[in-house]
Amino acid sequence: MNHKYNVLEAIDAGVSLLERTDNPRLESEVLLSHILNVPRSWLIAHPSKPLSLTNQTQFINIVNRRKEGLPLPYLLGHWEFFGLDFLVDKHVLIPRPETELLVEIAISISNKLKRPLVADIGTGSGNIAVSLAYKVPKALLIASDISFNALLLAKTNSLKHKTSRQIQFVQADLLKGLPKVDIICANLPYLTTHETFTLEVGLNEPHLALNGGHNGLKYIKQTIITAKSHLREHGTLLLEFGDNLETIMQIVARCFADAKLTTHYDLARRPRILQVST
């Protein structure tokens, strides 16, 4: 690398390397502002500022990793969810905007309770638990995951957003050992094993967060079966799911005879969250 780039030349070099991504210019700018530790607006205001050789090398390296398919959030080390900034790493699923719907429903139910106790099972980066605690200061939460590394990151995120006094983090297999709560939030792995090993998402994100067994329902089914004995009176189970609404409804109907079922749709009008109100 003999030629030293200025800001504009670096962005253009990033754009041509990232031409196969959805938004090459935006991604190139985001990655350069990450390397230079400046806001994106600074880049626009300083197009002819020369890069140091170190920054130039770091930028080309990170752009190449993006070109190879590494998701932007893992490269940046953080991602936005529900208006809050969450640290993310290879041990956790990147928080998805669809899951914000689950948080909205949990907030609205929690607000109606005096002292809500909520369990977030499969907490990952802690995005659901921390967002809920942040928005509902009277809520207490138990955030569980089978992955110890995920729990470490979730705990860091709760410290970052000053919600750690509301959330207890526990390593647990689904609901095993957890007390009765008012709300169970569950965004568990729901891809089939085949999808986990063939879809692009499985190349980069942890299989522990994706693989829901041969039909994708292994963890969701187990959660529905055990949820009733972990819910307080008038408790609610909130489940995020993929494609299996009909089968999930059948399992719920078998386990919760008198519950009210509500299906919530995401912005793409796909059924996404099942609310089981007992």
Ligand X SMILES: C[S@@+](CC[C@H](N)C(=O)[O-])C[C@H]1O[C@@H](n2cnc3c(N)ncnc32)[C@H](O)[C@@H]1O
Positions touching ligand X (CB under 6 A) are 92-93, 95, 99, 121-124, 127-128, 144-147, 150, 173-174, 187-189, 208-209, 219
Residue position matching structure tokens 């070099």: 13
Residue 48 exposed, middle or buried by CB count within 10 Å (0-12, 13-18, 19+): exposed
- Residue 68: φ, ψ to 5°: -75, -5
> Smallest distance, Å, CB 221 to ligand X?
12
Question: How many Å apart are CA 7 and CA 43, to the nearest integer?
Answer: 7
Task: Give whichever of 62 and 141 is closer to ligand X, judged by the CB atom.
Answer: 141
Q: What is the DSSP letter of 95?
A: P
Q: Are 92 and 209 in contact (CB under 8 A)?
A: yes
> Smallest distance, Å, CB 42 to ligand X?
31
> Smallest distance, Å, CB 54 to ligand X?
34
Question: How many Å apart are CA 126 and CA 133, to the nearest integer?
Answer: 10
Give the residues across from 85 on adjacent strands: 80
Task: Give whichever of 26 and 225 is closer to ligand X, judged by the CB atom.
Answer: 225
> Smallest distance, Å, CB 217 to ligand X?
13
The secondary structure of 62-75 as a DSSP string is HHHHHHTT--HHHH
Q: Are 241 and 212 in contact (CB under 8 A)?
A: no
- The structure tokens listed for 254 are 């078998």
Beta strands in 20-90 (DSSP E): 78-81, 84-87
> Smallest distance, Å, CB 156 to ligand X?
14
Task: Give whichever of 56 and 144 is closer to ligand X, judged by the CB atom.
Answer: 144
Residue position matching structure tokens 């893992």: 74
Task: Give whichever of 11 and 238 is closer to ligand X, judged by the CB atom.
Answer: 238
Q: Strand pairing of 140-145 and 167-171?
A: parallel
Residue position matching structure tokens 């956790």: 92
Task: Give whichever of 24 and 124 is closer to ligand X, judged by the CB atom.
Answer: 124
> Smallest distance, Å, CB 123 to ligand X?
5
> Smallest distance, Å, CB 202 to ligand X?
12
Task: Give whichever of 24 and 122 is closer to ligand X, judged by the CB atom.
Answer: 122
Task: Give whichever of 17 and 146 is closer to ligand X, judged by the CB atom.
Answer: 146
